[in-house]
Amino acid sequence: MDRLKLLSPFKSKPAKPPAPNPAARFGTSSSSRPVSSSQPSRPAPPPLAMETPAPAAYAYTPELRSRRDVLFSLLLRFAHFLIALIAFSTMAASKQTFTFHTGFTELSPTIQFSDYVPFSFLVGTMVVIACWALVLVALDAVELMTGRALAFRWKTWVWLTIDAILTLLSFGAGCAALGVTSIKGLVCDTQYSASQSFCIHAKIAGSLAFIEWAAMLPSVTGSLMTVLRESL
C-alpha cells in the first residue's frame, strides 16, 4: 500500500480549513441577528457642500450700431473733415502783399494769418478738427466694411469729451476771427484792395468755423445720449 501511494502520479491535496466566522470574534452569530422588514433604512449621507462660484466681473458690452447709423456717422465725420480742410486752406491762402506810398518811400508789406493771433488760433483749431475727423472716418469705414468696431470701456466718454472740446474751440475760433475783421482799420481797411482780399478770406474762414461748430453739435448730442443710455 505504501508503495502504491509512492508510485501514484496524483497526490492528494490536504483539505482547506474552514473560513473563520467574523461574527464569532465578537461573541455573536450572524444567524442569531433577527431581520426585520420594518427596520428603517440607513439615511443617505448629506451631499457635499458645493462651492458657490464667485460673481463674474463686469464685462463691458458696447452698444452695437446698425449699418445705417455707421453710414450716417461716416458721412457726418467726413463733412467735419471737409469743412475744416476748406477753412484751413482758405485762411492759409490769404497771404497778400500790397504797395503804398508814404510820401517819401514806397512800402510793400505782406499780410498773412500768422500776423494775427485769432487767425492763427482758427488755423490750429481747424487742423486739429480735420485730423480727429479723419481718424473717425477711417474707424467708421473699417466698421462698415468688416462689421467690427473699436470697443473699450470708456470709448463713449472719450468720444464725447473730445467732440465737446473741439466744438467749443471751433465756436471760439469763429468768434475771434470775425471779431477781428469787424474792427475797422485793423484788417478790413477799404484803402487797399489787397487788404480787402485778405479780409474776404478771413471772413470766409470765420464763417466756416461757425458752420463746423454747427455740424459737430449732432455728434456731441449723439455721444451724450449714448452715455446716458449706458449709465442707466
Q: Which three cell numbers stand for residue 31?
A: 444567524
Q: Do the beta carbons of residue 111 and residue 80 sit within 8 Å?
A: no
CA–chain centroid gap for 223, Å, is 12
Distance CA 180, CA 201 (A): 13
| Number of domains within the chain | 1
Record the cell numbers describing residue 231, joined without a space.
449709465
Q: In angstroms, rounded to a whole number, what is the distance separating the alpha carbons of residues 119 and 52?
A: 65
DSSP 8-class letter at 232:
-
Is residue 54 one of the residues assigned to a domain? no
Residue identified by cell 473563520 is 20
Kindly state whether residue 163 falls inside one of the protein's structural domains. Answer: yes
**Is residue 101 domain-resident?**
yes
Per-residue pLDDT of the chain (232 residues; tens, 9 = 90+): 445 454 455 455 555 666 555 555 555 544 445 555 555 567 776 665 555 555 444 444 555 677 888 889 899 999 999 999 999 999 888 776 666 556 666 666 677 788 888 899 999 999 999 999 999 999 989 888 887 777 767 788 888 999 999 999 999 999 998 888 887 656 675 555 556 778 888 889 999 999 999 999 999 998 888 888 877 7
In a domain, 88, yes or no: yes
Contact yes or no for 63/226 (Cβ under 8 A): yes
**Domain annotation covers residue 48:** no
Query: Residue 30: which residues within 8 A CB-CB, separation 6 or more?
Result: 21, 23
Domain that holds residue 104: 67-231
- Per-residue pLDDT of 115-144, as tens digits, reads 888 899 999 999 999 999 999 999 989 888
pLDDT in tens, 63-96: 567 788 888 989 999 999 999 999 999 988 877 6
* Total Cβ atoms within 10 A of residue 164: 15
> Rounded distance, CA 27 to CA 12, Å?
36
Q: How far, CA to CA in Å, does 211 sit from each of 92, 174, 175? A: 18, 9, 12
Task: Answer whether residue 36 is part of any domain.
Answer: no
Residue 78 domain-assigned (yes or no): yes
Q: Would 58 be classed as within a structural domain?
A: no
Q: Taking each helix axis from N to C terminus, what angle separates 193-231 and 67-92, rounded to the nearest 10 degrees?
A: 150
